[in-house]
Chains A and B, each alone.
Chain A
Amino acid sequence: MAKEMIMAGCAAAAHAAKFARVEVISSYPIRPYTGIMMELSKLVANGELDAEFIHGEGEHAQVSIAYGASACGARAYTGSSGVGVTYAFETFSPASGGRYPIQMAIADRALDPPGDFGSEHTDVMSARDQGWIMGWAETPQEIFDNTIIYYRIGEDPKVMLPQFSCQDGYFVSHIPDKVIFPEQSQVDEFLPPYKSPHPLDPTRPTSHGPQIFPDQGPAIDLQRAQAMLNTPKVIETAIADYNKIFGRNYSPFLEEYKTKDADFVFFLQGAHARTARYAVDHLRKKGVKAGMVKLRFLRPFPTEKVAETLSKFKAVGCVETSTSYGAAMKGGNLIHEVRSALYDEPKRPAITSFMAGLGGEVVTFDEFYNMAKVLAKAAKTGKVDQYVYWMNFDNEV
């Protein structure tokens, strides 16, 4: 029987990794993701999970240990936060280029300086171009489910890519909520044991990662790109299967809230979607036609779905929760993806972005209401005055 538990995102991710029967785990402490490894180390120490638990000497080593294990055919799990994620950066391309489907749990955290424990998406979003599948969870239940689903997607022979399973630091990682534990047999049915097509195995010798000549580069890069292109279909099937086996109701790429007749929507990912939902409810009571669209995968970015969905509205406001200093739209990252996806649409919404939730700051109801004022005006006039608003600093917000 499925069991209802109360736990925060860290424990939920750890228990999901146990249900996924991970075989090699590499740890290094940094807040807030540490809770995942503390929970897993207990499960290994108690004999509830048969896995090698390796204390890495840093995040760079954590990912290296994990992909070394994956290269031999073991299912490997690691994780980090904030500057730990950026410390590991060198290893991200070897992991995806080697087509090692390891999973790295991220409980995100603002980068230094200044020292800050709080949630911000910039840490792992900096690695969005490295060939990893990535997306955010809004709740402990969603990170539990994503952990299992991501392995299934990443290990698909058409994909073979590593995954960042992300949750907002503290907002998800440290706030307990209801989590439904499935039966182990359900997980085993959904997620078969990992089988590497070309393991490092002396009985079938292969060379991994040889040096190439420049003319061989494009073809190999194309293969990695193709793997990412194959991913959306695999995601759709995996989530349909998951919904069926576990009785969930996930939509693969975009979750819409009160969008049917909406004039404008907040577009965001992760924990702040919870606040956004309440803000939308409140705005609706006041007669404002607001809605919310939550992005579930940043990589691969669901371009067609985003174009099809967001072109229905008059205005879209990207709630960034990340920084991209000096970028085209001068704010965060989401707006670039959204504007690119919509470029060829005959009917495009007015699009702007809001710098909010940085450094672990809560995105408050008032901030959502102020965003709504900007978006309502844009919906009416059909254009935006600014591409980026720094919440509480720009005059209008």
Chain B
Amino acid sequence: MATQVQTQELEPIKNLRQVPQEEYYVPGHRTCAGCGPALCYKLVSKATGPDSIFLGPTGCMYVANTSYLCSPFAYAWTHTQITNGGAVASGIEAAYQVLIRKGKYKGKLPNIVVMAGDGGAIDIGLQAMSALMYRGHDVLFIMYDNEAYANTGIQTSPMTPFGSKTTFTPPGKAIPEGKKLFPKDAPQLVIGGHPAVHYVATASVAYPVDLINKVRKGLNYKGPTFLHIHCPCPKGWIFDSKDTVKIAKHAVETGMWTNYEWENGEYTYQHVPKTYKPVKEYLKTQERFAHMTEEHIAKMQAFITAKIKAPGKPIEIPVLGPREEA
């Protein structure tokens, strides 16, 4: 007789004192000082606890974390190709469904978490992520967003903001702004086309209680959920490594980042400032934007002003695209 598959129920926390003391992402890795994605990993691991399987598509959090014979993960962890985090996670989830059903695995369904960078989530990994969402696997897909391919030396990704200097978008005489394009709206990609998904949220490493609760909420859903987490990168964005959390907060205060939940079609917003500070104040904290002219900054401000009217909803970019400009 088939055994019923049981899932885990994770409790929300109220404040910082309730954050679990236990570490499941332990020292022994080689991430940079002030690494936003590493802080993200630490908080997500506290949220899930040890009855979990994490997947790490190729990226910083694979290369810098998993030196052979000194893994920092106190739960089951596997590498995946940068392309196939969503597909391998689907296989893992399917395996546990059948193994539990047949009585070959005795526990509850483990928390299955994909920790993909922006490239592994919505660029080269988009197809596999979308298919996982479509098929309704019970998996939390997290995109830890440091806004570039950082592991390979800071190249532009679809999440890299307009105007960023990266090693593929160097500002020069012909292209003074560096990056010409505006980023993809990752949560919108998930919300817009996947009827099996009931929960999508954004979070920031600067707001740990909120982040932990969103991870737990996502995992409590019996189905695919998506979390987009803002993770400043001192190396790629070029700022002092002590300022990671400050910069993450700054992003929220200027509207460069918004924390929100989308649950069964309803949006709720968190940490919305009473009045937004000018984007310029955020841009001047990072050297990747240092070359931007007043004209470029105005273009960026116009984009953000349009975006914060209704974060998480489709907007028309209020400026010309690269082909229209020509």
Question: Can you name 7 extra interface pairs (CB under 8 A) apart from A54-B91, A67-B91, A208-B77?
Answer: A57-B131, A65-B90, A71-B95, A76-B91, A90-B84, A209-B80, A213-B68
How far, in angstroms, from A190 to B127 measured CA to CA in the complex? 39
Point out the residue from B78, B80, B87, B134 that lies within 8 Å of A207, measured CB to CB: B78
Point out the residue from A60, A200, A216 that lies within 8 Å of B83, measured CB to CB: A60
Given A67-B91, A202-B110, also A55-B135 (CB < 8 A): yes
Q: Is B99 located at the chain interface by the 8 A CB criterion?
A: yes
Which residue of chain B has the shortest Cβ distance to A74 in the bound complex?
B95
Interface residues of A in 207-225 (CB under 8 A from B): 207-213, 216
Given A50-B101, A210-B66, also A72-B74 (CB < 8 A): no
Given A23-B99, A54-B135, A64-B84, also A71-B104 (CB < 8 A): no
Given A54-B135, A200-B76, also A211-B91 (CB < 8 A): no
Q: Is the CB of A211 within 8 A of B127?
A: no
Q: Which of A56, A60, A64, A66 has the most CB of B within 10 A?
A: A64
30 A-B residue pairings within 8 Å (CB atoms)? A24-B94, A24-B98, A54-B94, A60-B84, A61-B131, A64-B81, A64-B88, A69-B91, A71-B78, A71-B95, A73-B95, A74-B95, A91-B84, A94-B81, A193-B104, A202-B50, A202-B76, A205-B50, A207-B71, A207-B73, A207-B76, A208-B77, A208-B78, A208-B79, A209-B78, A210-B67, A211-B63, A211-B66, A211-B68, A211-B79
Given A68-B95, A69-B92, A205-B75, also A210-B68 (CB < 8 A): yes
Q: Is A201 located at the chain interface by the 8 A CB criterion?
A: yes
Interface residues of B in 238-288 (CB under 8 A from A): none
Point out the residue from B96, B98, B134 that lies within 8 Å of A50, measured CB to CB: B98
How far, in angstroms, from A17 to B79 measured CA to CA in the complex? 28
Point out the residue from A50, A61, A76 that lies within 8 Å of B127, measured CB to CB: A61
Q: Is the CB of A90 within 8 A of B81?
A: yes
What's the least CB distance linking B278 to chain A, in Å? Answer: 41
How far, in angstroms, from A18 to B130 measured CA to CA in the complex? 29
Residue-wise interface mask of A (174-206) relative to B, using a CB-CB cutoff of 8 A (1 in contact, 0 not) = 000000000000000000010000001111111
Point out the residue from B52, B69, B92, B107 that lies within 8 Å of A72, measured CB to CB: B92
Q: Is A26 located at the chain interface by the 8 A CB criterion?
A: yes
Contacting residues, chain B, for A203 (C-beta < 8 A): 107
Contacting residues, chain A, for B101 (C-beta < 8 A): 50
Q: Is A361 located at the chain interface by the 8 A CB criterion?
A: no
How far, in angstroms, from A201 to B53 measured CA to CA in the complex? 7
Q: Is the CB of A200 within 8 A of B91?
A: no
Q: Is B97 located at the chain interface by the 8 A CB criterion?
A: yes
Q: Is A52 located at the chain interface by the 8 A CB criterion?
A: yes
Q: Is B62 located at the chain interface by the 8 A CB criterion?
A: yes
What's the least CB distance linking A63 to chain B, in Å? Answer: 8
What's the least CB distance linking A100 to chain B, in Å? Answer: 10
Given A50-B101, A56-B131, A211-B62, also A65-B91 (CB < 8 A): yes
Contacting residues, chain B, for A64 (C-beta < 8 A): 80-81, 83-84, 87-88, 90-91, 128
How far, in angstroms, from A66 to B91 measured CA to CA in the complex? 6
What's the least CB distance linking A356 to chain B, in Å? Answer: 37
How far, in angstroms, from A193 to B127 measured CA to CA in the complex? 33
Point out the residue from B51, B52, B89, B105 that lies within 8 Å of A68, measured CB to CB: B89
Which residue of chain A has the shortest Cβ distance to B71 in the bound complex?
A207
How far, in angstroms, from A66 to B98 measured CA to CA in the complex? 13
Q: Is B102 located at the chain interface by the 8 A CB criterion?
A: yes
Contacting residues, chain B, for A52 (C-beta < 8 A): 94-95, 97-98
Contacting residues, chain B, for A335 (C-beta < 8 A): none
Interface residues of A in 5-37 (CB under 8 A from B): 23-24, 26
How far, in angstroms, from A58 to B90 measured CA to CA in the complex? 13
What's the least CB distance linking B209 to chain A, in Å? Answer: 25
Q: Is A85 located at the chain interface by the 8 A CB criterion?
A: no
Interface residues of B in 44-65 (CB under 8 A from A): 50-53, 62-63
Interface residues of B in 92-123 (CB under 8 A from A): 92, 94-99, 101-102, 104-105, 107, 110
Contacting residues, chain B, for A24 (C-beta < 8 A): 91, 94-95, 98
Contacting residues, chain B, for A341 (C-beta < 8 A): none
Q: Is the CB of A56 within 8 A of B87?
A: yes
- Main DSSP-derived SS at the B contact region: mixed
Contacting residues, chain B, for A205 (C-beta < 8 A): 50, 73-77
How far, in angstroms, from A202 to B75 measured CA to CA in the complex? 6
Which residue of chain B has the shortest Cβ distance to A90 in the bound complex?
B81
What's the least CB distance linking B174 to chain A, in Å? Answer: 35
Point out the residue from B71, B76, B98 that lies within 8 Å of A74, measured CB to CB: B98
Which residue of chain B has the shortest Cβ distance to A100 in the bound complex?
B91
What's the least CB distance linking B131 to chain A, in Å? Answer: 4
What's the least CB distance linking B73 to chain A, in Å? Answer: 6
How far, in angstroms, from A137 to B112 measured CA to CA in the complex? 39
Q: Is A51 located at the chain interface by the 8 A CB criterion?
A: yes
Q: Which of B69, B75, B94, B98 has the most CB of A within 10 A?
A: B94
Q: Is the CB of B127 within 8 A of A57?
A: yes
What's the least CB distance linking B96 to chain A, in Å? Answer: 6
Given A61-B128, A65-B87, also A211-B67 (CB < 8 A): yes
Point out the residue from B52, B67, B80, B128 that lies within 8 Å of A202, measured CB to CB: B52
How far, in angstroms, from A56 to B75 measured CA to CA in the complex? 27
How far, in angstroms, from A201 to B51 measured CA to CA in the complex? 9
Contacting residues, chain A, for B62 (C-beta < 8 A): 211
Contacting residues, chain A, for B134 (C-beta < 8 A): 57
What's the least CB distance linking B62 to chain A, in Å? Answer: 6
Contacting residues, chain A, for B99 (C-beta < 8 A): 23, 72-74
Point out the residue from A58, A68, A70, A73 that lies within 8 Å of B104, measured CB to CB: A73
Contacting residues, chain B, for A62 (C-beta < 8 A): 87
Q: Is the CB of B107 within 8 A of A202?
A: yes
Q: Is the CB of A61 within 8 A of B92?
A: no
Q: Which of B62, B63, B92 has the most CB of A within 10 A?
A: B92
Q: Is the CB of B83 within 8 A of A65?
A: no
How far, in angstroms, from A67 to B83 measured CA to CA in the complex? 14
Residue-wise interface mask of B (11-44) relative to A, using a CB-CB cutoff of 8 A (1 in contact, 0 not) = 0000000000000000000000000000000000
Which residue of chain A has the shortest Cβ distance to B78 in the bound complex?
A208
Contacting residues, chain B, for A69 (C-beta < 8 A): 91-92, 94-95
What's the least CB distance linking A203 to chain B, in Å? Answer: 7
Which residue of chain A has the shortest Cβ distance to B94 in the bound complex?
A52
Q: Which of B68, B86, B105 has the most CB of A within 10 A?
A: B68
What's the least CB distance linking B77 to chain A, in Å? Answer: 5
Q: Is the CB of A67 within 8 A of B88?
A: yes
By Cβ-Cβ distance, the 10 closest A-B pairs, closest first, are: A68-B91, A209-B79, A64-B87, A210-B66, A68-B88, A57-B131, A207-B71, A74-B95, A65-B91, A72-B95
